[in-house]
Amino acid sequence: FDQPKAEPASENLSVDELKRLQEEAEKLVTEKKLAETAEIEYQKLLSELLDGVAKANTPAEVNAHTRYTKPWSEQQRKPLLDAIHKRLQELAPAVAEIKMPPSLMVQIQNAKDLTELDCLEIEVSTRHVDIQSKLMGYVKQRRFELENQADGVGQ
Q: What is the pLDDT of residues 90-142, one digit of tens each?
A: 887 655 555 667 889 999 999 999 999 999 999 999 999 999 999 999 999 99
Helix, strand, coil percentages (3-state) for the chain, rounded to 5, are 80, 0, 20
Give CA–CA dist 90/79, Å, rounded: 17
The answer to whether residues 121 and 114 touch, using CB atoms and an 8 Å cutoff, is: no
> Could you state, in order of their start, the residue ranges of all structural domains in the chain?
13-97, 104-154
- Residue pLDDT, tens place only, 14-41: 888 888 999 999 999 888 988 888 889 9
Full-prediction pTM beyond 0.75?
no
Q: Give buried/exposed letters for 107-143 (b at 16+ CB in 10 A, else e).
A: bbeebeeeeebeebbeebeeeeeeeeeebeebbeebb
